[in-house]
Protein backbone atom coordinates (compact mmCIF):
# COMPACT_ATOMS: atom_id res chain seq x y z
CA UNK A 1 0.00 0.00 0.00
CA UNK A 2 1.29 3.44 -0.88
CA UNK A 3 2.40 5.67 1.99
CA UNK A 4 0.83 8.86 0.54
CA UNK A 5 -2.80 9.50 -0.37
CA UNK A 6 -2.56 13.21 -1.24
CA UNK A 7 0.14 15.65 -2.29
CA UNK A 8 -0.52 19.34 -1.60
CA UNK A 9 1.62 21.42 -3.94
CA UNK A 10 2.38 25.13 -3.68
CA UNK A 11 2.17 26.97 -6.99
CA UNK A 12 4.63 29.80 -7.70
CA UNK A 13 8.22 28.72 -7.07
CA UNK A 14 7.23 25.07 -6.63
CA UNK A 15 5.20 23.98 -9.65
CA UNK A 16 5.03 27.32 -11.51
CA UNK A 17 8.14 29.27 -12.37
CA UNK A 18 8.59 32.36 -10.27
CA UNK A 19 8.45 35.63 -12.15
CA UNK A 20 9.94 39.09 -11.63
CA UNK A 21 6.37 40.31 -12.12
CA UNK A 22 5.51 39.30 -8.55
CA UNK A 23 8.14 41.43 -6.74
CA UNK A 24 7.41 44.16 -9.29
CA UNK A 25 3.74 44.00 -8.31
CA UNK A 26 4.61 44.32 -4.62
CA UNK A 27 7.00 47.19 -5.35
CA UNK A 28 4.51 49.11 -7.50
CA UNK A 29 1.62 48.53 -5.11
CA UNK A 30 3.57 49.63 -2.04
CA UNK A 31 4.79 52.71 -3.91
CA UNK A 32 1.15 53.79 -4.15
CA UNK A 33 1.18 53.80 -0.33
CA UNK A 34 4.43 55.77 -0.24
CA UNK A 35 6.57 52.78 0.79
CA UNK A 36 9.84 51.83 -0.88
CA UNK A 37 10.57 48.12 -0.55
CA UNK A 38 13.96 46.47 -0.39
CA UNK A 39 14.68 43.00 -1.85
CA UNK A 40 14.90 41.75 1.74
CA UNK A 41 11.37 43.04 2.42
CA UNK A 42 10.00 41.04 -0.49
CA UNK A 43 11.91 37.86 0.37
CA UNK A 44 10.61 38.00 3.93
CA UNK A 45 6.96 37.70 2.88
CA UNK A 46 7.26 35.12 0.08
CA UNK A 47 4.83 32.23 0.41
CA UNK A 48 2.37 34.11 2.61
CA UNK A 49 -1.14 35.24 1.79
CA UNK A 50 -0.68 38.32 -0.36
CA UNK A 51 -3.12 40.34 1.76
CA UNK A 52 -1.28 39.25 4.91
CA UNK A 53 2.04 40.08 3.26
CA UNK A 54 0.90 43.61 2.43
CA UNK A 55 -0.53 44.01 5.93
CA UNK A 56 2.84 42.94 7.38
CA UNK A 57 4.78 45.32 5.13
CA UNK A 58 2.54 48.24 6.10
CA UNK A 59 2.10 47.44 9.80
CA UNK A 60 5.44 48.83 10.93
CA UNK A 61 5.06 51.98 8.88
CA UNK A 62 1.56 53.21 9.67
CA UNK A 63 -0.63 53.48 12.75
CA UNK A 64 -2.91 50.44 13.05
CA UNK A 65 -6.11 52.52 13.03
CA UNK A 66 -5.19 53.96 9.64
CA UNK A 67 -4.12 50.83 7.78
CA UNK A 68 -7.18 48.75 6.81
CA UNK A 69 -8.35 50.96 3.96
CA UNK A 70 -4.73 51.42 2.90
CA UNK A 71 -4.24 47.64 2.90
CA UNK A 72 -7.34 47.14 0.74
CA UNK A 73 -6.25 49.79 -1.75
CA UNK A 74 -2.68 48.54 -1.87
CA UNK A 75 -3.79 44.95 -2.39
CA UNK A 76 -6.16 46.03 -5.16
CA UNK A 77 -3.24 47.74 -6.93
CA UNK A 78 -1.07 44.63 -6.48
CA UNK A 79 -3.74 42.30 -7.82
CA UNK A 80 -4.67 44.52 -10.77
CA UNK A 81 -1.06 44.80 -11.93
CA UNK A 82 -0.42 41.07 -11.61
CA UNK A 83 -3.65 40.07 -13.36
CA UNK A 84 -2.71 42.27 -16.31
CA UNK A 85 0.77 40.75 -16.41
CA UNK A 86 -0.44 37.15 -16.35
CA UNK A 87 -3.20 37.80 -18.89
CA UNK A 88 -0.78 39.36 -21.35
CA UNK A 89 2.36 37.34 -20.68
CA UNK A 90 3.43 33.70 -20.59
CA UNK A 91 3.15 31.41 -17.59
CA UNK A 92 5.81 28.70 -17.38
CA UNK A 93 5.69 25.52 -15.29
CA UNK A 94 8.64 24.26 -13.30
CA UNK A 95 10.27 21.66 -15.53
CA UNK A 96 8.84 18.24 -14.73
CA UNK A 97 5.81 19.49 -12.78
CA UNK A 98 3.27 18.16 -15.27
CA UNK A 99 5.07 14.81 -15.35
CA UNK A 100 4.84 14.61 -11.54
CA UNK A 101 1.11 15.29 -11.70
CA UNK A 102 0.76 12.49 -14.25
CA UNK A 103 2.77 10.17 -11.97
CA UNK A 104 0.50 11.00 -9.04
CA UNK A 105 -2.56 10.22 -11.14
CA UNK A 106 -1.06 6.90 -12.23
CA UNK A 107 -0.35 6.04 -8.58
CA UNK A 108 -3.88 7.07 -7.49
CA UNK A 109 -2.44 9.88 -5.34
CA UNK A 110 -4.63 12.96 -5.01
CA UNK A 111 -3.31 16.33 -6.21
CA UNK A 112 -4.11 19.69 -4.62
CA UNK A 113 -2.65 23.01 -5.67
CA UNK A 114 -2.54 25.75 -3.02
CA UNK A 115 -1.62 29.40 -3.30
CA UNK A 116 -1.48 32.71 -1.53
CA UNK A 117 -3.19 34.26 -4.59
CA UNK A 118 -6.93 34.83 -4.80
CA UNK A 119 -8.97 32.53 -7.01
CA UNK A 120 -9.31 34.71 -10.10
CA UNK A 121 -5.54 35.00 -10.44
CA UNK A 122 -4.91 31.34 -9.55
CA UNK A 123 -7.56 30.16 -12.02
CA UNK A 124 -5.91 32.22 -14.74
CA UNK A 125 -2.55 30.55 -14.10
CA UNK A 126 -4.04 27.03 -14.06
CA UNK A 127 -5.99 27.75 -17.24
CA UNK A 128 -2.92 29.04 -19.08
CA UNK A 129 -0.96 25.94 -18.03
CA UNK A 130 -3.87 23.63 -19.01
CA UNK A 131 -3.67 21.82 -15.68
CA UNK A 132 -7.39 21.64 -15.02
CA UNK A 133 -7.62 17.96 -15.95
CA UNK A 134 -4.45 17.00 -14.06
CA UNK A 135 -5.30 18.29 -10.58
CA UNK A 136 -8.09 17.39 -8.17
CA UNK A 137 -8.57 20.72 -6.40
CA UNK A 138 -7.23 24.25 -6.20
CA UNK A 139 -7.31 25.99 -2.81
CA UNK A 140 -6.73 29.73 -2.84
CA UNK A 141 -6.10 32.40 -0.25
CA UNK A 142 -9.70 33.62 -0.38
CA UNK A 143 -10.97 30.10 0.37
CA UNK A 144 -9.51 30.00 3.88
CA UNK A 145 -9.59 31.99 7.12
CA UNK A 146 -5.80 32.22 7.37
CA UNK A 147 -3.01 31.81 4.86
CA UNK A 148 0.39 30.24 5.46
CA UNK A 149 2.04 29.56 7.85
CA UNK A 150 -1.39 28.51 9.19
CA UNK A 151 -2.36 24.99 8.02
CA UNK A 152 -5.71 26.04 6.55
CA UNK A 153 -4.82 25.60 2.86
CA UNK A 154 -3.66 22.03 3.46
CA UNK A 155 -6.55 21.08 5.74
CA UNK A 156 -9.11 22.58 3.33
CA UNK A 157 -7.63 20.54 0.46
CA UNK A 158 -7.96 17.40 2.59
CA UNK A 159 -11.54 18.20 3.52
CA UNK A 160 -12.59 18.88 -0.06
CA UNK A 161 -11.14 15.62 -1.32
CA UNK A 162 -12.24 13.49 1.61
CA UNK A 163 -8.82 12.67 3.09
CA UNK A 164 -8.67 12.41 6.88
CA UNK A 165 -5.31 10.72 7.58
CA UNK A 166 -2.88 13.65 7.76
CA UNK A 167 0.23 11.44 8.19
CA UNK A 168 -0.54 10.14 4.68
CA UNK A 169 -0.41 13.66 3.20
CA UNK A 170 2.65 15.27 1.61
CA UNK A 171 3.11 19.04 1.44
CA UNK A 172 5.57 20.48 -1.09
CA UNK A 173 6.70 24.11 -1.21
CA UNK A 174 9.60 26.49 -1.76
CA UNK A 175 9.26 28.91 1.16
CA UNK A 176 9.69 29.04 4.91
CA UNK A 177 5.93 29.55 5.21
CA UNK A 178 5.25 26.40 3.18
CA UNK A 179 7.33 24.27 5.54
CA UNK A 180 5.83 25.95 8.60
CA UNK A 181 2.31 25.30 7.26
CA UNK A 182 3.16 21.65 6.63
CA UNK A 183 4.47 21.27 10.17
CA UNK A 184 1.40 23.03 11.60
CA UNK A 185 -0.86 20.67 9.67
CA UNK A 186 1.10 17.62 10.87
CA UNK A 187 1.68 16.15 7.41
CA UNK A 188 3.69 12.95 7.09
CA UNK A 189 5.93 14.37 4.36
CA UNK A 190 6.94 18.02 4.65
CA UNK A 191 9.10 18.67 1.60
CA UNK A 192 10.98 21.80 0.60
CA UNK A 193 12.09 22.51 -2.96
CA UNK A 194 15.02 24.70 -3.96
CA UNK A 195 13.47 26.10 -7.14
CA UNK A 196 11.89 29.18 -5.61
CA UNK A 197 12.13 31.92 -3.03
CA UNK A 198 14.32 30.50 -0.26
CA UNK A 199 17.71 28.82 -0.19
CA UNK A 200 18.74 25.47 1.25
CA UNK A 201 20.30 27.28 4.22
CA UNK A 202 17.03 29.12 4.92
CA UNK A 203 14.83 26.04 4.50
CA UNK A 204 17.16 23.73 6.42
CA UNK A 205 16.32 25.31 9.77
CA UNK A 206 12.56 24.82 9.28
CA UNK A 207 10.70 21.56 10.07
CA UNK A 208 11.04 19.25 7.07
CA UNK A 209 11.33 15.62 6.06
CA UNK A 210 13.26 16.28 2.83
CA UNK A 211 14.76 19.08 0.76
CA UNK A 212 14.94 18.46 -2.98
CA UNK A 213 16.23 20.46 -5.92
CA UNK A 214 12.94 20.41 -7.79
CA UNK A 215 9.41 19.06 -7.71
CA UNK A 216 10.59 16.77 -10.51
CA UNK A 217 12.47 14.80 -7.83
CA UNK A 218 9.33 14.14 -5.76
CA UNK A 219 8.50 10.63 -7.06
CA UNK A 220 11.89 9.40 -5.87
CA UNK A 221 11.23 10.73 -2.35
CA UNK A 222 7.72 9.29 -2.10
CA UNK A 223 8.80 5.94 -3.55
CA UNK A 224 11.52 5.34 -0.96
Greatest Cα pair distance, the chain, in angstroms, is 56
| Domains identified in the chain, total number | 2
Domain at 74, CATH number:
1.10.150
Same domain, 158 and 206: yes
Torsion sign (Cα): 9, 14, 19, 25: positive
The pLDDT value recorded for residue 89 is: 83
Average pLDDT of span 191-212: 92
Tens-place pLDDT, residues 88-128: 888 999 999 999 999 999 999 999 999 988 899 999 999 99
The pLDDT value recorded for residue 64 is: 54
* pTM reported for the whole predicted model: 0.87
Same domain, 33 and 134: no
The pLDDT value recorded for residue 24 is: 87
The pLDDT value recorded for residue 65 is: 58
Domain at 120, CATH number:
3.40.50.1000
Is residue 73 domain-resident? yes
Is residue 1 domain-resident? no
Same domain, 161 and 52: no
Tens-place pLDDT, residues 137-146: 999 999 999 9
Same domain, 107 and 169: yes
Is residue 181 domain-resident? yes
Per-residue confidence at 62, pLDDT binned at 50, 70, 90? low
**Which residues span the domain enclosing 79?**
21-88
Rg (CA), the chain: 17
Give yes or no for residue 63 having a pLDDT over 70.
no
Give yes or no for residue 38 having a pLDDT over 90.
no
Same domain, 105 and 81: no
Which of 48, 68, 88 terminates a domain? The answer is 88
Which of 35, 70, 88 terminates a domain? The answer is 88
Give yes or no for residue 16 having a pLDDT over 90.
yes
Per-residue confidence at 1, pLDDT binned at 50, 70, 90? very low
- The span from the first CA to the last CA of the chain, in angstroms, equals 13
Same domain, 11 and 100: yes
Same domain, 73 and 107: no
Q: Decide if 192 contacts 174 (C-beta within 8 A).
A: yes
Same domain, 84 and 182: no
Same domain, 70 and 157: no
Same domain, 120 and 168: yes
Amino acid sequence: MKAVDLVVFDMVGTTVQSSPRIPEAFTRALETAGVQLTPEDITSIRGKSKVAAIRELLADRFHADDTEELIRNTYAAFKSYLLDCYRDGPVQPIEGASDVFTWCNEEAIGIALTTGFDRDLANLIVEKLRWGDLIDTLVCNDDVAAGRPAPDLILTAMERLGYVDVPRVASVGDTLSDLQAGANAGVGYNIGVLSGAHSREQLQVQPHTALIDSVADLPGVLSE
